[in-house]
A and B are shown apart, each in its own frame.
Chain A
Amino acid sequence: MSSALVLLSLVVFLPSVGALALAFFPRKSEDASRWFALATTVVTFLLTAWMAIPGDGKSAQFQLGVAEMQNVFNVSWLPSFGVQYYMGVDGISFPLVLLTTFLSVLAMGAAWPIAKHVKGYCILFLLLETGMLGAFVALDFFLFFIFWEVMLLPMYFLIGIWGGPRREYAAIKFFLYTMLGGVCMVVALLALYFNSDVTKLIGKLSPAEWRATHLLDAYDSRIDAAVTGDARTFKAVELMQADIASGAATEHTFNILAMQQLGQKTDAFDAVLLGGKSIQWWAFVLLFIGFVIKVPSVPFHTWLPDAHVEAPTPISMILAGVLLKLGGYGLIRICYPICPDAAHDLAYFVVTIGVVSMIYGAFAALNQKDFKRLVAYSSVSHMGYVVAGLGVWSAAAATGYDADYWKMGMNGAMFQMIAHGISSAGMFFMVGVLYDRVHHRNLNEFGGLFAKMPVYCCLAWVIFLAGVGLPGLCGFIGEACVTLSVWKFSPVLAVVTAFTVILTAGYILWAFQRVYLGAEYKGPHEEALVPSTWRERAIGATLVAAAILFGVLPYQTVFRYMTPSVDKVVADLVAWQRRDDAVAPAAAMAGASTEPEAATPAANAVSANE
């Protein structure tokens, strides 16, 4: 327990400790600041990389095949509100944590050309890393929200100070959009919090499930060591109930895992709130808006092109590589499990949003003249796969609750997040390399780069093909899994999804032709087009290697970590669906042929009356 506390806290706060240390650096020491910040990101990366070596559960290394949270710790923070310093990783968050630390190293490496207020840049960058990592590992909704907002400020300044000519507009736009998302989220957060009631879980959860929520961790110390096994859990539940009854503890909780159980197994969020819709319906909608602003999906996407165009290269890398992933992560961690009823209700809406983003982003990308804007729109298109893949709720009573295709879609969506992290960060980096040289991004004023920068162009080619979704590179697996899973949900949407492959090839290859191929360079500052430096090659080659590795060995690199946890999310939701169908009489008729299976055997349920 305590090792997890130390390790995860270290991972999350090491960058901010580095930022603190940087604050005492002398003003002029630019190179020292860069190297120090880079070293901090490298150490953080190495820590998480060590965690990625499959372990046996005894050490803090990641244990394969475990769907539940690992390395969890839960320390009381603001007890009167039930806010906890509560973190852990599972197959969903861990790959994203690793992606974050990995891209942070590369983005710090890509920040070398930044010459303005280097120290300040490094400090903000490291704070940003803390925010991102914290949001991925936080299991307390309040904590999650704090990290979510912590990300926002450094990002605002990083775009607003180090950005391009319209940086203030872009920064404000980014800030307002994300704030809007934040407001939606906080409303949903409070609604869920004040309707949560952990005592409703009593009688609904098995001892193992109780343990998995980590609600009882605080009570363990008060129980005699002689009491072990299930009895210990029962005892802890009793203590908790007593504390709540006496007012020593609150029945409300920010515990995300407990909220998931409340959403799936109790009626805590089912009360009608507004317009005939339940609390969880409204919470879902608000959270969904908050998260798809981050993804971003059409129609909440217009901050992205501006933010990307104005942001400096490394910030674009982080923005596309990590920040957008928080949207998808929020959907799978919070939206879906806490509000299953609403998610089921709105499944078609969600997938449609995803598919529309795919095709709309692709069309918009086709028309761009600014290279970076094109890549930004490609992000909109590619992240559409994530939303669509998460949403393909294809399990239904008529098919015997066959959830395999949904599992495929959700796994594909999660893979797509990782893959897009590599490919889009790579694409932004490649654009940045050019911008550093010629200071323009007009697609029609490039050409003939192969002769001038052969190594760079070769790397760029691979990265852009990864964006096209070429097999053997990372982009393919996620897109293929999502695309193949959509048909089971809706053939019409599936056809639109499949159509995107044509457009994707169109806009990327066309852009590539205009920028890299051809006989001669057509724009200004031709003399500045010098071959890539070792630093640029190292970053590019690392991304290329990652793209190939993820594309060739998706199971070994990603799925074996990810699948158990993602499958569990799906399985839990489908179990909820079975129970829900069994309750609804009409649906029960349809489901009669398939035996409804009680996911929580009543015999195992812990009851306080025992």
Chain B
Amino acid sequence: MDLASTLPTLLGAAWLLPLASFVIVWLFGPRLGHAGKHAGYVATGAILGSFVLALIALLSWTGKHGVFVEAHHDESHAGAPTAPPRSESSPSKSPVQFRLVAAAAEGEHADYAHYDHEGKAYYTGDWYTLAKFGKLQLTIGYYIDSLTVVMFCMVTLIASCIHFYAQGYMHDELHDVEDHEVTLSDGHHLHRRGRYHRFFQYLSLFCFSMLGVVLSGNMAMTFVFWELVGVCSYFLIGFYIERKSASTAANKAFIVNRVGDFGMLIGMMALWSSLGTFNFGDMAVEDAASGETRSQAGIFSQVRPGPSHELVVPEGMKQAAAATGSEDTERCGYWLLVIAGVGIFCGCVGKSAQFPLHTWLPDAMEGPTPVSALVHSATMVAAGVYLAGRFYPVFAPEALLVIAVIGCITLFIAATIAITAVDIKRVLAYSTVSQLGYMMFALGVGGWVAGMMHLVTHAFFKSLLFMCSGSVIHAVHTNDMTKMGGLRKKMPWTAYTMLVGCLAIAGAGIPFLVGFSGYYSKDAIIAQAIAYKEVNPLWGVTLFVAAGGAATTAFYMFRLWYMTFSGQPRDAHKYDHAHESPKVMYYPLVVLSVFAIAVAWPITIVGDAAEGSPLVHLLNQAVPDGVGSMEGAVRGTLAASVAIPSEHASHVDAIHSAATMLAFSTALGGFLLATLFYGWKYLDPAEVRNQFPQVYRFLWNKWWFDELYDALFVKPAHLLAAVAAWLDKNVLDRIIDGSAKVTLVASRYDDWFDRLFVDGLVNWFGRWTYGVGLAFRRLQTGSVRQYAMFVVLGTVVLFFLLSLFLGTAVGR
């Protein structure tokens, strides 16, 4: 079995299945079973099929490349076991050397022609071309490494669980719905038809778009699916289209994401116009002239050419800098590189709801809960982190500093807001923002594997948490935690799976022995932060913020759990009506909690007993070239004080145990504090609230971000719009209408002139002629004798005159 052809086929099929489901449900939705009930089966079947295909892809990957990587700090770690030895002996102008292992040579389809690279193992190629201009090409293709495969499995698995769950959760939509949140002008609640099939239609499109982002082989394709993910979230957040709040939240999500895309476009333009390609990996291209196949260096190997894979300013950027007339092309080109990196990261900021574009995510809670679960775990927000991870080789140390700082700010702000929120979904939403901040922070401080691992573990426990909260909302019909309490007796499955989720997100575990999945990923992040602090004393404060964030996370998560499930019911009516959700809803919870516990466990599947979990090892296979092989810290060019430590630095025992203890103690601290307040109720939260009213109000109002942005951006935009419209109406149109008026006035004068002088002259002449005519009329007497006399007289006069003139003429 040749991986170069099977992997793209498998993942491509897994990617297209949800699209097929989307098309079917879109066109035939309402006719699929009673009220579109079968649409759910179609969509679920499609995503399950995708999952199976992704699983097969994972197995074939491990079959070829194995699971375990020999040793971390071996420089050639990234090379898969079967990777060929490096051919350093043949000097070549091309920055990266290739060896054709050529599926093509074996008669395979040319699309699958695959080069085995000296760095990490990946497969890339194009499926079809969108447009081609000279050397420039926009294509739809794939870039598959172990991260792609892992993400595929994770996304399809979680999405499958959510599809099942949604069949139960969206059950109401199968018949007519009365929307209690919408009151019509006649005072009644809105009564509308169910939209069950619509929901699954969007869900399928969402999965398709997300898988597209993961599979994407170039930046253009990423942007395409990036936008599609955005529009799917727009559809799903605004699913209850009748609710003003929902459609406004949907608009907000889309537009805020577009703000991020604005930055992303700038980054893309900087790359595109200097590198001339959007391909991530090195692509085999056929030379039209010679018919030979040669390799075209992708973005990654242009920025980090082999064999050292150190970050350099690519030739294209130097040329672009030179074209602007810059003296120091190296430095100017480096600026361009930083702009490109930060620009792309702006897109990630939007999608992954990082500060300052985090405001859309909590509002996105307007969507049905399964959507929140999907948006907040495996798709959308994950897309941002995924792209930051995928694009990692291009980030210069300065760009990474931006990422780290943004991540750090985000995790702190979101965690503080989550403390005061009482809407169960909003608490989770802010926890998502905070955890995404962690991931970005991890990436920023050099922890690629740590960040990606947290992305995977978080996806499992956050989808679990959201679906649990959905189960609770389904039971009590409110999001308000102050109306819950004691529910664990009524809904034990939900309560205890949610407890698993809380423990996982808090990073619970027995130090140095075993823990929930979050324990491993959070440890790795903290460890990397410690390593970062060692080389960057200036930015070391980020470590404390991260640790504080970890404590806060534990606090608000257990606050949530206690408020919802323990103690006495606060609303007896709601409590009495509460019930455990149907099996189709809580079975997925069980599945997800198994993964939330064990996805990062260091278990050995087959033989090879290496340290670390299979997940870590798989991710290690995908560490970008030049990132994993760094010996020491890498320093910035523009800001030399910025240093990015190698990820191996955090594996040193001293750092590792310090991190473990730090993570453990902060989590424990948060947990104990929550228990003091909400479990044992030794302390009264209301008292604390009254003690610090300003702080409380500040947090309750989410740091006033919405109001700030409204004043800073929304209002000015509307003002500018009004100015533009005013200009059109009062300046441009005035000029036009004014010139028309001037013409009219001019024509009036023209008319006057015409009448007075031109016409006057003509009329005068006419009158004169008439007068003359009248005068002559008197001669017309009608008397023949008189006429005869005139004739004779005339003849005489004529004769006299003629003889006078002619005579003189003749005489001369």
Name A residues whose Cβ lies closer than 8 Å to a Cβ of B. Answer: 173, 176-177, 299, 301-303, 305, 360, 363-368, 396, 398-399, 403-405, 407-408, 411, 415, 448, 450-451, 465, 470-472, 476-477, 480-481, 483-488, 491, 494-495, 498-499, 501-503, 505-507, 509-510, 513, 516-520, 554-555, 559, 563, 567
Contacts and interface: CB of A to CB of B under 8 A. Distances in A.
B167 to A, nearest CB: 23
Contact of A509 (B134, B251, B272): B251
A471 B227 contact: yes
B77 to A, nearest CB: 36
Contacts of A516: 241
Contacts of A518: 241-242, 244, 247
A471 B225 contact: yes
B276 A404 contact: yes
Contacts of B138: 480-481
19 contacts: A364-B728, A367-B721, A411-B131, A470-B227, A470-B228, A470-B231, A480-B223, A485-B273, A488-B273, A494-B269, A495-B266, A502-B262, A506-B255, A506-B258, A516-B241, A519-B184, A554-B130, A554-B131, A555-B130
Nearest to B261: A501
Contacts of B136: 404-405, 407-408
In this complex, the member of B179, B190, B255, B270 whose beta carbon has the largest number of chain A beta carbons within 10 angstroms is: B255
B745 interface: no
B778 interface: no
Contact of A396 (B128, B323, B722): B323
Nearest to A412: B131
Contacts of B736: 173, 177, 302-303
Top 9 A-B pairs, shortest CB-CB distance:
A404-B134, A366-B721, A487-B269, A367-B721, A471-B224, A363-B724, A367-B725, A498-B265, A364-B724
Given A173-B736, A367-B718, A498-B262, A567 B724 contact: no
Given A476-B224, A480-B220, A519-B190, A502 B323 contact: no
B129 A555 contact: yes
A403 B241 contact: no
Given A480-B220, A505-B254, A520-B184, 17 more contacts: A177-B736, A299-B732, A364-B721, A366-B718, A367-B724, A404-B276, A407-B136, A408-B133, A451-B193, A471-B228, A472-B224, A483-B269, A484-B265, A491-B270, A505-B255, A519-B184, A559-B132
Given A360-B724, A555-B132, A502 B259 contact: yes
In this complex, the member of A302, A366, A465 whose beta carbon has the largest number of chain B beta carbons within 10 angstroms is: A302
Given A494-B266, A501-B258, A501-B262, A484 B242 contact: no
Given A302-B733, A495-B266, A509-B254, A364 B725 contact: yes
B227 A520 contact: no
A415 B132 CA distance: 13
A472 B136 CA distance: 20
A313 to B, nearest CB: 23
B427 to A, nearest CB: 28
B541 interface: no
Nearest to B743: A176
B182 interface: yes
B185 interface: yes
Contacts of A563: 131-133
In this complex, the member of B129, B718, B722, B724 whose beta carbon has the largest number of chain A beta carbons within 10 angstroms is: B724
A539 B223 CA distance: 31
Contacts of A448: 242
Nearest to B251: A509
Given A399-B323, A503-B717, A451 B724 contact: no
B242 A302 contact: no
B740 interface: yes
B334 to A, nearest CB: 16
Contacts of A559: 131-132
B13 interface: no
B76 interface: no
B242 A483 contact: no
B268 interface: yes
A498 B255 contact: no
Interface residues of B, number: 64
B171 interface: no
A429 to B, nearest CB: 21
Contacts of A494: 266, 269
A428 to B, nearest CB: 19
A264 to B, nearest CB: 20
B720 interface: yes
Interface string B247-260: 11011001100110
Given A398-B322, A520-B185, A487 B270 contact: yes
Given A471-B225, A483-B265, A501-B262, A509 B255 contact: yes
B319 interface: yes
Contact of A498 (B220, B269, B723, B728): B269
B721 A567 contact: no
Given A366-B718, A465-B231, A519-B242, A484 B247 contact: no
A404 B274 CA distance: 12
A394 B190 CA distance: 57
A502 B255 contact: yes
Contacts of B319: 399
A360 B134 CA distance: 32
A495 B343 CA distance: 11
Contacts of A176: 740
B228 A405 contact: no
A363 B135 CA distance: 36
A119 B273 CA distance: 54
B272 to A, nearest CB: 5
Nearest to A552: B130
A513 B248 contact: yes
B375 to A, nearest CB: 18
A501 B265 contact: yes
B192 interface: yes
A487 B724 contact: no
B311 to A, nearest CB: 22
Given A302-B736, A396-B323, A505 B258 contact: yes
Contacts of B407: none
B486 interface: no
B238 interface: yes
Contact of B269 (A363, A486, A554, A567): A486
B728 A302 contact: yes
A213 B75 CA distance: 64
Nearest to A458: B26
Contact of A363 (B179, B225, B255, B721): B721
A502 B259 CA distance: 6
Contacts of B182: 519
Contacts of A363: 717, 720-721, 723-725
A302 B735 CA distance: 10
A465 B235 CA distance: 11
Interface in B253-305: 254-255, 258-259, 261-262, 265-266, 268-270, 272-273, 276
A591 B251 CA distance: 50
Interface string B95-115: 000000000000000000000
A510 B129 CA distance: 34
